[in-house]
Amino acid sequence: MRRLFAPARFPGRIAWLVGVGTALCILSLSACKSRTAGAPEAWERFDLWSAKAETEASPVANRWFHPSTQRIRFLGAAEVRDLARVPAAQLAHFPHRPAGQIRALEQVVASKVRWRTRLGRSPYLSFIPLGFERPCACFYRVSVTARSGGAEPESEIYRAAAPPLRTLAPPTVTVDLARWAGTDVDLHFEVVGAAERPAGQAFPSLFWGSPAVYGRRALPAPPGPQPGPKRPNILLIGADTLRADALGAWGRSPSLSPEIDALSAESDVYLDAYSAFNVTNPSFISIMTGLYGKNHGVYDLTTPLPRTHVTLAEHLHQAGYNTLAVLSASHLQDANSGLGQGFDEVTRASEHFAGELAVDMTIDWLAARSAKAVAAATETQPQAGPKPFFIWLHLFDPHTPHTPPEPFASGYEPSAPSGLTPVASWVPFRTPGPRGFDEQVLGANKDLYDGEVAYLDAQVGRLLDFLRSRNLLDDTVVVLVADHGESLGEHSVSFRHVGLHDTTTHVPMMIRWPERQGTGRTFRGLVQTIDLFPTLLGALGLPVPPQDGLDLHRLTGPGRFGRRAVFAEHAGRLGLMVRTPEWKYILSSGNTRFFPDGPSLFDLRADRGENVDRAGQGLAQETELERLLQRFLADRRDLPKPTERGDLTPEEASRLRGLGYLR
């Protein structure tokens, strides 16, 4: 089954945000307690976007007119660049660069809608006041009516003037609902303004981004006898374009990633992990098959893996797992990658998802699955527990264009892990202030890249907090890995993951094992992302087919020092790399726009930045690594190779150009 789906002024706005966060803690102390204190209560999310709203007021007296409409739109602008600053010749190559997609409710002026719901503990309302596309002298207004039997007046809880849609989205608004905790309420959304429609045009409207009500509820006692031991769940978080040195666990200071840092403290962290590729689709194909590109044969974003390959998802599906893939980039869809095989459900973006939409979809799937399991256990087979799940969650955010919402865009992040609770306070991770794009064609800026990492981290924290509250985290193997890194000015390359230097091949990788009870370990020694495939299958007691990965338990630990060498291949067959702990050898071919053809050699002990090319100096290490690379190429598996696609639709070609992958 497949489903398609102007910077703020600071520090004044941040001071307002911090004040709101502090007020929320004062109003609802229970929402600001440690997530591990006391008995667990499950997070619940009532998605107002998905639920049908009742019309209370409308500018048109017509029962067929719906004042609110579900949209998939952008966390920011549909075109994020200043086109006046983009050379006309470049626009043909990069025609469209939108912010990430989210769910948004579009509501017309002079209308009012409501939802009826029962609030849990520590409830709050969350939404993003995205603003308007066409000028509208109007206000957002939210009110609550308690449904306690008698006539209750409406209580206004939020009112703000509507801004125009901006390049980067405004901050998320969280409104405390603790006053009505545990009660039935009507929640009213209203667009206040004159019911005037320009001749021949639709009514002006406002957008509410990601509107939802959150709260906690006690977990119901499992019915009947409990099932025996089962295989653990697996959550594979694949972060796109995330450099290892962007995370606190790899030395980034101040850290951009309090949530991932907390996860790393409970995980096996592989400090010297390397991708097999410098581009998304081939890299994830290597992760899902345990194969280098020389053996699976995919070198681009348009050629699917042959169906005769058996992926990690297929192995797990055959072992009884429910499987879900949430793919945040359109070019990772099954038609382009072949990675839909083995998944019960694949959800992919028509453009690219913002992290919060991908996480919301995952939370919704898990909540629906839990509800079905409880119903099934109660009515039919109380002795049979639910199947374990395998979720591949792909998050695209650090990739260009760099469009983190405020306040991440202006250099702020949560002061501590907050998960699904409202952020209590914000702290700067750089000198605060708005940033524009340094690279207009791609929509890129290094500070905004950091903001994207901080935003992604917050989304990872939301999902982990949901799992923890549902008593699922300690039954789940959590893997976090990146497909590749990014060049941020090194080697004269900005905001493109070309080349095979550490900037594009050194990636974060960690595994949280349930049986270790949250005790983390840090390992040095070369490993590769393809090693996840045999490691996970072996840990589950499943057969491990012939492939190129090595079980991480055999590579790391006391007396073990990782692989002798790691290898990577360049997209488009434009180069190869072999790296030992001390030396790196790169052989480039045809990538002359960025790097000269031929070999490069770097002494990593003296030159960690790979800035001084030692090739051609007669060093024995060059001869040794060249031979090692030739042996790597010669050692091939007799496996089916794909047929490269030559039939890209104009839309597909346009999207890939917009992301910088096609010329």
pLDDT value at residue 377: 66
Question: What is the residue type of 521?
Answer: R
pLDDT value at residue 331: 93
In DSSP terms, 174 is beta-bridged to 126
Q: Do 452 and 356 touch, CB atoms closer than 8 A?
A: no
pLDDT value at residue 455: 98
pLDDT value at residue 199: 76
Q: Do 215 and 456 touch, CB atoms closer than 8 A?
A: no
pLDDT value at residue 9: 31
pLDDT value at residue 518: 74
Q: Do 496 and 660 touch, CB atoms closer than 8 A?
A: yes
pLDDT value at residue 26: 30
> Which stretches in the chain have pLDDT values below 50?
1-38, 655-663
Question: What is the residue type of 211?
Answer: P
Structure-block tokens of residue 204: 């002006």
**494-496/41-47 β-pairing:** unpaired
Q: Do 300 and 338 touch, CB atoms closer than 8 A?
A: no
- Backbone phi, then psi, for 351, in 5-degree steps? -120, -95
Cα(371)–Cα(491) distance, rounded to whole angstroms?
A: 52
Structure-block tokens of residue 83: 């086109």
Report pLDDT digits (tens) over 10-65.
334 433 333 433 333 333 333 333 344 445 689 999 999 999 999 999 999 888 88
Question: What is the residue type of 520?
Answer: G
Cα(541)–Cα(530) distance, rounded to whole angstroms?
A: 18
User: Can you give the length of the chain in residues?
Assistant: 663
Report pLDDT digits (tens) over 450-492.
999 999 999 999 999 999 999 999 999 999 999 999 999 999 9
Question: Between 280-289 and 532-539, two packed helices, what is the crossing angle to 10 degrees?
Answer: 30
pLDDT value at residue 274: 98
pLDDT value at residue 24: 35
Cα(22)–Cα(32) distance, rounded to whole angstroms?
A: 10
pLDDT value at residue 2: 38
Beta-carbon count within 10 A of 156 CB: 12
